[in-house]
């Protein structure tokens, strides 16, 4: 199969090109019109498939529900927003609930499904800080230990790829060092850590930060906090929710301009309420949440609990409202998360030999077509 457009994102720019796909891989890239195309998208933009490494659920399914049919439905339908791969993300709960949740993800990954690729699990909690717990249920927040993580990873059959933890509670950075040695990305979040503690966490292997600005110690000019560390440690990856609600467009612009093009990661932090009407009510992590008119989800006391963001809409918000350069914004949902997860050998860009994960965007950022491993989804 060959698809082509006058605007294909290659080498940080749009060029007229044709992309050849065979057996789930990109097997050739040629000048536009050189070969007969099966689909010609004119001047519509062809970009790499989007990745969402922090999303709890959608369509009334939550990762903690541990229902295989819900996870399969999610993977099949999330392609409508251009997402071609994602990490199913947990939320703090009892050991029993989390064990069943990660085992369910492993079962679906190994048992077969359609749509976006489930890359593994983002284990958010329970190793968090009480002050910045957000919507995480406090009764299940626990001290980080290698032994407890090993139990969860055994239940997940090795599919936990990324974990959020509060480094100030990780004694001697024991868990951080263990995870790094075993190929699990450590992300700092839901944390009251100081700037200095964040620097030491980075030195001991931490690689990312979880939803920068939210659920972390703020920046001040004499106490720089985790937000200050996100600005200053430019080789530290950092997720950010790009819905314009969790962080204003100005805050998004400040973050991306400080971070540069290679280390910011757009996430949805979407809940099971994604894809449901305004006013919908759900239980998340044991807490009652309601979807507000702007698409954000809140606890009864007004605390932000998550979003219902579509990644293609996040791209539009970054470029058109936050005035972030297009390459910064696109990298944040393609090559940056791929590189953070050590998957850039097969994900994140349109290059020969990589997975044929491809999105066709309309001028208004609507998704016209999504290809997962070369298969058209819409």
| Residues labelled as active-site residues | 269
- In angstroms, rounded to a whole number, what is the distance separating the alpha carbons of residues 17 and 7? 7
The dihedral formed by the CA atoms of 38, 41, 43 and 45, expressed in degrees to the nearest 10: -110
What per-residue string of b and e applies to 60-74 under the rule 16 or more CB within 10 Å gives b?
Answer: bbbbbbbbeebbbbb
CA 178, distance to chain mean position in Å, is 23
12 to 7, 262, 298, 331, 364: CA distances (angstroms): 12, 12, 37, 9, 20
How many CB atoms are located within 10 Å of the residue 130 CB?
A: 12
Q: In this structure, are residues 215 and 239 in contact, taking their beta carbons and an 8 Å threshold?
A: no
- In angstroms, rounded to a whole number, what is the distance separating the alpha carbons of residues 280 and 300? 13
CA 128, distance to chain mean position in Å, is 19
**Which residues on neighbouring strands pair with residue 122, listed in sequence order?**
89, 162
- In angstroms, rounded to a whole number, what is the distance separating the alpha carbons of residues 19 and 212? 35
Nearest to 102 by CA among 134, 141, 144, 149: 149
Q: In this structure, are residues 216 and 224 in contact, taking their beta carbons and an 8 Å threshold?
A: no
* Cis amide linkage into residue 126, ω under 30° from 0: yes
- Report the first-to-last Cα separation within the chain, whole angstroms: 16
41 to 3, 10, 37, 361, 368: CA distances (angstroms): 8, 16, 10, 10, 9
Q: Where are the alpha helices (DSSP H) in the chain?
A: 68-77, 95-111, 146-155, 174-181, 195-203, 225-232, 249-259, 311-316, 326-331, 335-340
């Amino acid at each position: 199969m060959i698809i082509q457009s006058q605007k294909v994102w290659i080498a940080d720019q749009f060029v007229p090109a044709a992309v050849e796909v065979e057996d789930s891989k990109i097997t050739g890239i040629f000048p536009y019109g050189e070969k007969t195309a099966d689909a010609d998208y004119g001047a519509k933009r062809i970009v790499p498939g989007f990745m969402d490494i922090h999303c709890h659920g959608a369509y009334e399914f939550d990762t903690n529900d541990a229902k295989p049919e819900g996870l399969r439905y999610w993977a099949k339908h999330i392609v409508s927003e251009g997402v071609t791969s994602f990490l199913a993300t947990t939320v703090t709960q009892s050991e029993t609930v989390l064990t069943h949740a990660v085992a369910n993800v492993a079962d679906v990954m190994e048992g077969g499904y359609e749509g976006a690729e489930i890359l593994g699990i983002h284990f958010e909690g329970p190793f968090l800080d009480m002050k910045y717990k957000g919507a995480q249920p406090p009764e299940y927040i626990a001290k980080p230990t290698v032994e407890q993580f090993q139990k969860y990873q055994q239940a997940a059959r090795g599919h936990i790829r990324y974990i959020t933890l509060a480094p100030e509670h990780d004694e001697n950075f024991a868990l951080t060092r263990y995870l790094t040695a075993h190929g699990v990305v450590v992300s700092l979040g839901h944390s009251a850590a100081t700037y200095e503690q964040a620097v030491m966490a980075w030195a001991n292997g931490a690689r990312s930060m979880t939803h920068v600005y939210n659920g972390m110690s703020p920046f001040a000019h004499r106490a720089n906090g985790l937000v200050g560390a996100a600005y200053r440690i430019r080789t530290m990856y950092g997720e950010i929710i790009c819905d314009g609600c969790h962080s204003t467009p100005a805050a998004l612009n400040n973050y991306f301009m400080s971070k540069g093009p290679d280390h910011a990661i757009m996430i949805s932090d979407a809940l099971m309420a994604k894809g449901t009407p305004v006013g919908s009510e759900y239980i998340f992590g044991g807490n009652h949440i309601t979807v507000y008119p702007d698409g954000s989800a809140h606890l009864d006391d007004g605390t932000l609990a998550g979003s219902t963001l579509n990644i293609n809409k996040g791209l539009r918000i970054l470029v058109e409202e936050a005035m972030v350069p297009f390459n910064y914004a696109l990298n944040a949902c393609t090559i940056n998360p791929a590189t953070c997860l050590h998957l850039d050998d097969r994900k994140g860009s349109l290059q020969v030999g990589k997975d044929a994960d491809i999105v066709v965007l309309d001028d208004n950022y609507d998704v016209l077509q999504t290809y997962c491993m070369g298969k058209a989804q819409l």
